Amino acid sequence: MSIPGFGTISAMMIMTEIIDISRFKKVDNFRSYFGVAPGEDSTGEEETITGLTQIRNKVLRTVIIEPAWVAVQKDPALMMAFAKLSKRMKKNEAIIRIAKKMINRLWYVLKNKNPYQIGVVE
């Protein structure tokens, strides 16, 4: 709950779905579990990157995107990143990128058992 945007209910939902952080070997696997990894459509030699993957945990994707909107108002580092992203893409697309950053930060907090530090730039 030290990460801006996460309240008691969202933190409980995430911890209930994740159960044990050690089952994810890499942060990429963790992001994929949330469903914010890019999809891929491959046919033979052609490889096309699509939008968000359809393989996801429906609960976690919602639980991470909603707090991202709050986090961009409370965390200066995420606010700067969102402003920069919003200049070159739609706000709904930019918030997905912020959600990815929040998942990275959540991974760090859970793996290292350290509280989140507001304003730390990645």
Q: Which two tokens stand for residue 97?
A: 């990128």
pTM of the model: 0.75
Q: Domain coordinates of the chain in residue numbers?
A: 8-112
Poorest-pLDDT segment among 18-22, 38-42, 49-53, 73-77: 49-53
Q: Which residues pair with 46 in a beta bridge?
A: 43
E strands present in 1-113: 38-43, 46-52
Is the pLDDT at 54 greater than 80, yes or no? no
Residue 29: the pLDDT is 83
